[in-house]
Amino acid sequence: RLELDAALATSLNEEQRAAVEAGEGPVLVIAGAGSGKTRTLTYRVARMLARGVPPDSLLLLTFTNKAAREMLRRVEELAGGFADVGRLMGGTFHHAAHVLLREHAGALGFSTAFTVLDREDSRDLMATCLAERKLRSDKRFPRPDALLELVSLATNLQQPVSQVLVERRPRMLPVAPEVFATARRFQQRKAQMHLMDYDDLLAHLKRLLEEHPAIRAELSARFQGVLVDEYQDTNRLQGDLVDLLVGERRNLTVVGDDCQSIYSFRGAEFTNIIDFPQRYPGCGIYPLTRNYRSTPQVLRLANAVIARNTRQFPKALVSDGAPGPVPQVVPTRDVKGQAAFVTERILALRAQGQRLESMAVLYRAHLHSLELQLELARHGLPFRVRSGVRFFEQVHVKDALAHLRWVHHRADELAFKRLVRRLPGVGAASTERLWTALEALPPELPLPQALTHPDVLAHVPRKAQAGFQRFQALMIRLDAGGPRGPGALLADVLAAREAPATPDADDLRAEDLRQLQEFAERFEDVPRFLSDIALVSEFSAQGALDGEMPDDVLTLTTVHQAKGLEWRSVFVLGLVDGRFPLSLATRNPEDEEEERRLFYVAVTRAREALWLVYPHTSLPREDGRMLLTPSRFLAELPVGPDAVCESLPPPEPDGPIRVRELGPDPEPEP
């Protein structure tokens, strides 16, 4: 405890200490990036423990499991000597709701052994509900993912599905009655079967607290302190849950930065943090004004970025750090050049003694990192893609690739089985039999003859006939196409997907596959494409087989997943208008401000060195390269004496560059 006191005195500045030592009651810390909000929260927890608050009466909420683990580790370091930190309830909102519902779901008529549905399961269930209403095959009807998204938004915003549909998904209006009926059915089915998806965990907990005052009283008596990090990204439902849990005691600490609110597309309301003083009158407000993360150069750039937003809580932020290099804006020839530039810089930094784990590459969407993943693998640079699965290892991506693999290499047993197993009506046993029959045929037999050979057909289960025929047809088409590139082949595969790609922006998998196809267009021959991708996969499989990745690993991450984290050297990629900001997000000023906050989150991850990189032109096409427009966020950075960055010149052209033709000027207003 003495050590903790010493740490409080030496490891915090006065502003931070004031927030840590604030007495009971509501506390709001609203401050800029890197000002020590998370650190302050951690110390506040440790101090409460030091003052004898039992660990199991504290609830510490954050947005990702990783952030939660990190904070608990820090609390353990500070308070582990005198408190059993393992008993503290810390984690994501979903985690906490899950634990509490396991105790109390009975009151809602649920079995406490309820099953939690992951995203995949929910999707299957939604697909079943559609099938029951015979809407599954109607191509104009929204896909299961789009419906899930809608239901999820309604839950998180705490609004009726009808309102969300009208306000946020007007495209669904023509089929609204059927959408409502399906959504209702989906909810009923879950309740009947004692299933909860992620959103239900929160929604049911809220209902429990509202409808059962005794349980609510018990829980708010249990939690003597509730603390929330990244409060700006809570949505209505999460905000309400926190309010219900803290109860009369109002012993709530929230920290956040409205300028880093980046989840409004999922219903986050940064008004939660702005309006906190109204909801908790008399709360203590603790500003933090020193930035400990970044050099003054990085911070100057970050401040220039966010100054463009009109909607924000005014905050001052000054750097505490030693000066460092001026951030660089780097145009490269194209996306390949971008991957090469980043790889080269990373190799150079490593040669100077910097560890890979102190570097990160950030981008708006995973697609922007595919070239880089290949380039890093070619150079043997170990990397980890945050947010779990690497792009090429996702099931649906592997499934699509399996078509190309098998057509090009008929002995690829894994690819064949992967494809056949997915066919409706084919089980594991028939998959084996089909493969054995196929393998027994002479290898020189052309693919169409092999797939229609009586020995093979004999093993197709009767109920799988239709599916197998579609499979045959597709494979024969892929095989017949003559020398075609991987892009063209994948286009065929996508066109033959069970749910033909109605352009539905909400269907994430279709989007992944479109990205894969677009990426494949960059390759001329299939073997090269497949071997490059295999290289990336093998590269990561190696790590997985050895039990763990090498301990010094580079991070690749979307900006969303980088929230709250920091690295010594940061690269932000793909800063092209339409990609970052996404073109979808520039249709109205609010969305554009959210994208700018996202850019602000990106640049404030850097401690020392920051590179803002973009491809100057597209990859070469028959008629030359196309000029790309740098991100408007780069164009907004001040130039001249107030410049906050150093802009490198674009590379010399290696051929004709075309400029996208602009349409005629709009007619002047009369």
Interface residue list for Mg ion (CB under 5 A) = 37-38, 564
| Residue 116, beta-bridge partner list | 196
Residue 303 is a binding residue for ligand ATP (CB under 6 A): no
CA distance 40 to 276: 19
CA distance 277 to 667: 49
> Least separation, in Å, of the C-beta of 80 and ligand ATP?
18
> Least separation, in Å, of the C-beta of 624 and ligand ATP?
42
Q: In this structure, what are the phi and psi dihedrals at residue 317, rounded to the nearest 5 degrees? A: -145, 120
Contacts of 480 (CB under 8 A, 6+ apart): 448
The stretch among 29-37, 108-116, 178-186, 614-622 that binds ligand ATP (CB under 6 A) is 29-37
Torsion over CA of 385, 394, 151 and 239, rounded to 10 degrees? -20
Residue 597 is a binding residue for ligand ATP (CB under 6 A): no
Q: Is 624 annotated for ligand binding?
A: no
> Least separation, in Å, of the C-beta of 554 and ligand ATP?
19
Amino acid letter, 380: G
Indicate which of ligand ATP, Mg ion, none lies near residue 36 (CB less than 5 to 8 Å, by partner kind). Answer: ligand ATP
Judged by DSSP in three states, 500 sits in: coil
Nearer to ligand ATP, 38 or 182 (CB): 38
The stretch among 27-35, 71-79, 130-138, 458-466 that binds ligand ATP (CB under 6 A) is 27-35
Contact assessment for residue 493 and residue 474, using Cβ atoms and an 8 Å cutoff: yes
Q: Is 34 annotated for ligand binding?
A: yes
Nearer to ligand ATP, 64 or 235 (CB): 64
CA distance 33 to 276: 19
CA distance 31 to 104: 37
Nearer to ligand ATP, 34 or 144 (CB): 34
Nearer to ligand ATP, 142 or 287 (CB): 287
Residue 13 is a binding residue for ligand ATP (CB under 6 A): yes
Contacts of 568 (CB under 8 A, 6+ apart): 354, 358, 359, 606, 607, 608, 609
CA distance 482 to 226: 64
Among 292, 313, 435, 523, binds ligand ATP (CB under 6 A): 292
> Least separation, in Å, of the C-beta of 602 and ligand ATP?
11
Q: Judged by CB under 6 A, how many residues of this single chain contact ligand ATP?
A: 18
**Which residue has the CB atom at the shortest distance from ligand ATP?**
36
Contacts of 336 (CB under 8 A, 6+ apart): 371, 375, 619
Indicate which of Mg ion, ligand ATP, none lies near residue 313 (CB less than 5 to 8 Å, by partner kind). Answer: none
Q: Is 547 annotated for ligand binding?
A: no
CA distance 34 to 603: 11
Residue 34 is a binding residue for ligand ATP (CB under 6 A): yes
Indicate which of Mg ion, ligand ATP, none lies near residue 257 (CB less than 5 to 8 Å, by partner kind). Answer: ligand ATP
CA distances, 370 to each of 163, 361, 492 (Å): 38, 12, 21
Nearer to ligand ATP, 60 or 474 (CB): 60
The stretch among 10-18, 57-65, 369-377, 495-503 that binds ligand ATP (CB under 6 A) is 10-18
Binding track over 256-285 against ligand ATP, x by CB under 6 A: -x--x-------------------------
Q: Is 37 annotated for ligand binding?
A: yes
Nearer to ligand ATP, 20 or 419 (CB): 20
Nearer to ligand ATP, 42 or 618 (CB): 42
Count each helix (H run) and each strand (E run) in the chain, helices first. Answer: 28, 19
> Least separation, in Å, of the C-beta of 299 and Mg ion?
16
CA distance 171 to 167: 10
> Least separation, in Å, of the C-beta of 46 and ligand ATP?
14
CA distances, 599 to each of 6, 90, 259, 411 (Å): 37, 29, 10, 47
> Least separation, in Å, of the C-beta of 310 and ligand ATP?
21
Among 8, 38, 335, 613, binds ligand ATP (CB under 6 A): 38
H or E element in which residue 120 lies: helix 119-132
Among 4, 27, 33, 105, binds ligand ATP (CB under 6 A): 33
Among 74, 190, 204, 293, binds ligand ATP (CB under 6 A): 293
Indicate which of Mg ion, ligand ATP, none lies near residue 251 (CB less than 5 to 8 Å, by partner kind). Answer: none
Pick left, alpha or beta for residue 425 (phi over 0 → left; psi -120 to 50 → alpha; otherwise beta). Answer: left
Interactions with ligand ATP, residue window 547-566 (CB under 6 A):
564, 566
Residue 326 burial (CB count, 10 A) = 16
Indicate which of ligand ATP, Mg ion, none lies near residue 292 (CB less than 5 to 8 Å, by partner kind). Answer: ligand ATP
CA distance 249 to 221: 8
The verdict on whether omega for the bond into residue 581 sits within 30 degrees of 0, i.e. cis, is yes
3-state helix, strand, coil in the chain (%, to 5): 55, 10, 35
Q: Which of these, 247, 236, 224, 255, lies nearest to 59 by C-alpha position?
A: 224
Nearer to ligand ATP, 35 or 557 (CB): 35
Structure tokens at 285: 């407000």
Residue 35 is a binding residue for ligand ATP (CB under 6 A): yes
Q: Is 31 annotated for ligand binding?
A: yes
Among 4, 39, 123, 615, binds ligand ATP (CB under 6 A): 39
Among 37, 169, 364, 410, binds ligand ATP (CB under 6 A): 37
> Least separation, in Å, of the C-beta of 33 and ligand ATP?
4
Torsion over CA of 631, 635, 637 and 641, rounded to 10 degrees? 150
Q: Is 206 annotated for ligand binding?
A: no
Among 4, 16, 251, 510, binds ligand ATP (CB under 6 A): 16
* Site residues, ligand ATP (CB under 6 A): 11-13, 16, 33-39, 257, 260, 292-293, 564, 566, 604
Residue numbers belonging to the annotated binding site for ATP: 31-38
